[in-house]
Structure 1
Amino acid sequence: MCDKALITDPYRQLDDYIDSLPYKKENLIAILHQAQELFGYLPDKVQWHIAQKLDIPSAKVYGVVSFYSFFTMKPRGKHVANVCMGTACFVRGAEKLQAELEKQLGIKTGQITSDNLFSLDSLRCIGACGLAPVMMVDGEVHGRLNEAEEIKQVLEKYRPENIHEPTDSQGGMKM
């Protein structure tokens, strides 16, 4: 007998999620969010699977995936860094910020570091113009990044050796 909590196959988990929805076709975006959560991205094979499950054209699924910037068809790193390329950020040095990130991470925009820790992308605008130039890592905004050392400090926050569990006042782990 198989306990649902033990199900690890992402396709099975996705199917179970879809089956739990009362209006399947109307929940395409929610289904895509769930699929991206399970797979990390939305490759053609996953999009086709969703189309088959919902009995809709795969072009419709692709159209939604390619329209919304939240969805990605390429694998991402554990931490996603996005450089804002909106007007305010661009004028205040977004290109230099992007170039420095590429240098420090050893990748080009649109790529993933060899350890799969970071992926680097750009966005049109994140709405933090007063902090320009800005980058966002995993949804956290980091602004006024004009120096290589500032950028290095932001990246270091996301490296495994610098991520610590919260501790209580006696130095023990908080539970």
Structure 2
Amino acid sequence: MNLSQINEIAFEADDRYPPLLQVLLAVQDENPNHYISESAVGEIARALHVTRGRVYSTASFYSEISLTPRGRNIIRVCINAPCENAGKKEILEALKEILGITIGETTDDGEFTMESVNCLGACYMSPAIKINDQIFGDLTREDLPGIIQKFRKERKEEEEHATGESSIDF
């Protein structure tokens, strides 16, 4: 990402005083690997006239922001008491079986990264996970293969659409 792109994001956020957190999230969303790169830190600091240290401290404070590359789909697993008591451990075990990863890891194909969060704001439907911007709650082990398959299918359809290929036989 270059300085002009970061400036554009920064000043779309607020013409006069762009909030650093909002800019970090927007830049991260634009990155295909869903993280703030080393070069982006420098560009953000220059664009907002703040120190690199301030950018790093803000980025590292929020669990929603990553300074390392992540998968295409981010799975956030709630580790707060309501989800813990409702079966979070079983959900984590099932995700590990399905994806072959655990908290802090990314699948070999770069499709999924699993992270823990303190709360998703979905205690009423514990246990819950969030994949990208979508929350799935009242989960059981049996729900997870279908949910993961949905995201894999979406990716396959996007790739087929991009290449103009179709899996339909004529």
Shorter-chain-normalised TM-score: which range? Answer: 0.7 to 0.9
Identical aligned residues as a percent: 27
Q: TM-score, normalised by structure 1?
A: 0.76
1:52 aligned to 2:29? no
**Matching residue's letter, 1:22:** D
Tell me the TM-score normalised to structure 2 length. Answer: 0.78
RMSD of the TM alignment (CA)? 2.3
Give a deviation string over 1:27-49, Cα, whole Å, max 9, x none.
32232123212223112331122
Alignment of 1:134-173 (within 5 A): 134-147=128-141, 149-160=142-153
Unaligned runs of 5+ in 2: 159-170
| Structure 1 residue 161 displacement after superposition | 5.9
Question: Following superposition, which runs of at least 4 residues in structure 1 exceed 3 angstroms of deviation?
Answer: 15-22, 161-165
Match in the other structure for 2:164: none
Aligned length: 154
**Quick check: 40-49 or 114-123, which moved more?**
40-49
Amino acid at match of 1:153: G
Specify the alignment match of 2:78 in structure 1.
84
Shift in CA distance, 113/49, structure 1 to aligned 2, threshold 3 Å: same
CA distance in 1, matches of 2:155, 2:42: 39
Partner SS, residue 108 of structure 2: coil
Identify if the C-alpha distance between structure 1 residues 131 and 57 changes in structure 2 by more than 3 Å, giving closer, same or farther: same
* Greater fraction helix: 2
Contact 1:84 1:125 in 2 (8 A): yes
Q: 1:16 to 1:106 in 2, by over 3 A?
A: same
SS of aligned partner of 1:122: strand
User: Looking at CA atoms only, which structure, 1 or 2, has the larger radius of gyration?
Assistant: 1
Identify unmatched segments of 5+ residues in structure 1: 1-9, 166-175
